[in-house]
Amino acid sequence: AFRRRAKPLGANTTLICVHIRLGQHLDERNAWRRPDVVYQKREYSRLYWDFINRQYLFALRNSRQSYRIFLNTDTRDIYDEALAEYGNETLVVNEGGFFNIDLLAQRDSCGDVEKTYLDFHAFELCDEAVITHSQFSKLGLWRLSEQKRENTNLFVFNRNLKDFLPNQSGYDLAIH
């Protein structure tokens, strides 16, 4: 179901993949997770939506090209914000919880692991990518074929500059 929504057969649909990881915060069960790196502040999510609108959606809407936005996040309210911004027809997610399975004190269900696995593999469908400095999304993007990697624009959020930088180094996996 995810693949059909993200890249409908016969349609020339651009899939913009977005990964926003906040890191240490309350999860959707309102329980603190084990200590984690704070990747960025919660209020930076607005920068993602503004960048996506400016970098991609203005041109895609004007050309009437079909597009979808795949979102991977560890926070339910980021998802809710994206849903309000783009709507259910545009936003594509795999069903399941919003957290990092490696940081949960207790693993509650196989469904949580399954969602993480499906999200990781969903990156192989990306046409464009806007991500947090995180190994999860960078490694997921390595699943793209070499030819597709050469044609996929990757922008990585720099929390110090509060801006998105093109990844000039051919999907460099280093965290800066």
Here the tokens at position 171 are 């999907």
pLDDT in tens, the chain (176 residues): 888 899 887 778 999 999 998 875 555 554 544 555 556 777 889 999 999 999 999 999 999 899 999 999 888 889 999 999 999 999 999 887 776 666 555 555 565 677 888 888 898 899 999 998 877 888 888 888 777 777 778 888 887 788 888 875 444 544 44
Query: If you count them, how many residues does the chain have?
Result: 176
